[in-house]
Amino acid sequence: MYRHVVFDLGGTLIDTYPELDAALLEVVALGGGEVTREQVETLTRQSTATAIAELSERFGIPAAHFEAATTALKRRWRDSPPPAMPGARAVMDLVAANGGRSFVVTHRDRDSATSLLEQLGLVPDDLVCPGDGFPRKPDPTMHRVIAQRHGLDPADCVGVGDRPIDAQAARAAGMAAAVLEVPGVDNDTVAEHRLGSMVDLLALLTATAR
């Protein structure tokens, strides 16, 4: 039974990708280039840094232009955050109802992550990020810190994310892993569970609670 869930944030609990993709597409268009949304999606699902580096090199647009666009997007999110992923709130409610806890392990800086969560009314039991002094995923340190800090058996936990590095970090910390699949994006992963949406996670948690 998975009692506790360790979530990634962007693309997992919160639907950040559509607005991020649009911001990068706009920079390319303003620079006179042409790229499809699907091509940008493939890059951003690896990481924002990967997308910026690839698009900058491909179109000869300074990386600073893309970075300025993502910074402006984060500022807009302070007042108008992207939506929670469908089913995210219900999953966190179910975890609590079953006596478990929800945690967030994210690469986003703490202030940005906390602001997004608070605005959307998503309240995890703890949040850990590299700004706390920990290495980035796929290093399992942040997952291990969550388990140690709260006295959890990793076998009772499932790590949920949208990228292979999320699954790798969870598995290396002794937890099960579930990955949200993105249509058109090759998500080769070590995860035990592949999810079409957070609604599928709701079904998985219900099944393992029986």
**pLDDT tens digits, 95-152:** 999 999 999 999 999 999 999 999 999 999 999 999 999 999 999 999 999 999 999 9
Burial 100-120 (b: 16+ CB within 10 A, else e): bbbbbbbbbeeebbebbbebb
* Pair 114, 13: CB distance under 8 Å: no
The count of other CB atoms within 10 Å of the CB of residue 140 is: 21
- Residues 6 or more apart from 16 whose CB is under 8 A from it? 9, 10, 82
Distance, in Å, from the CA atom of 164 to the CA atom of 179, rounded to the nearest integer, reads 7
**pLDDT tens digits, 146-192:** 999 999 999 999 999 999 899 999 999 999 999 998 766 666 678 99
Predicted structure pTM score:
0.92
- How many CA atoms are closer than 13 Å to the CA of 187, on its beta-carbon side? 26
